[in-house]
Amino acid sequence: MSVPLLYIAAYARSGSTLLGELLARRLGGVHVGEVRHLAERALLPGRRCSCGAEVVRCPFWSRALAEAGLGGAELAELRALARALRRPAAKYLLSAAALEAALTPSRRLLLVRLYRGLARAAEGRLLVDGSKQPAYAWALARSGAARVHLVHLLRDPRAVAYAVRHRRKPLPQGGRMASAPLLETAVKWRLLQGAILRLGPALASYHRQSYEALCRDPEAALARLRFLARGGAAGASHLFSGNPDFLAPQGGVEIRFREPWRAGMGWWEAQAVRLLAGRVR
């Protein structure tokens, strides 16, 4: 039986980690961050979970991995799947053949094992996955690993492009978040939104959420998803990847809505990004 999963699909720097934290706390779920990076990032030496423990010693992740029975060979297959889904034909859902080639029968079974392990570690609480990539959501649904309820998180593409170019936050493992030119981000943003829209009807449910509206009134934004709430269960956060602001142990979630792109981006740059990104209907 597939695992109920709340999946956040979005472009990078769109607020997916913030939304995941709010959803887990309000709906009594467990925010597990970007699970698609599990085999590539989580088990690196010294990598810490947002609960404060090293990922390999975190009670949640230790149990999830043990329940899934993932060893070196299985993790290598999950890394190969992640690489295959990052290729443009698969990433933007442009080729059914590329997607099916990436999701081999053995990888389907690994996803089922992984998400059953996560569900057991969550002990009945809703899983909130912030992996963002629509191709990974497709793989979860296609393999039967999860019953995917998708939240399509949209942030103004001008804000996203500016953040990707300028706001390179330090990462816990060293280095900084990747940057890209404004117009490159605008084109990729448009491709990704199209992929999410094509995927939505094939999943258990689809919900669109504006990042700006979330920051203005989080309670109203989350009210539509309360049908997924799990009684009075307490929310929890076990992140190993995502916005660095949320990777350190903390007691609350602070919403800080800023629009530095309005002062930092030239008029022609803003217009070019808006034109290339288009509008999501």
Spatial separation of the C-alpha atoms in residues 112 and 242, rounded to whole Å: 23
pLDDT of 225:
86
Which of 49-53, 176-180, 197-201 is least confident?
176-180
Confidence of residue 172 (pLDDT cuts 50, 70, 90): low
The domain spans of the chain are 3-277
CA 206 from chain center: how many Å? 15
Amino acid at site 93: L
Confidence of residue 230 (pLDDT cuts 50, 70, 90): confident
Q: Give yes or no for residue 281 having a pLDDT over 90.
A: no
Q: Give yes or no for residue 174 having a pLDDT over 60.
A: no
More confident residue, 242 or 69: 69
Level-2 CATH architecture, domain 3-277: 3-Layer(aba) Sandwich (3.40)
pLDDT of 132:
97
Average pLDDT over residues 169-187: 76
Average pLDDT over residues 189-218: 96
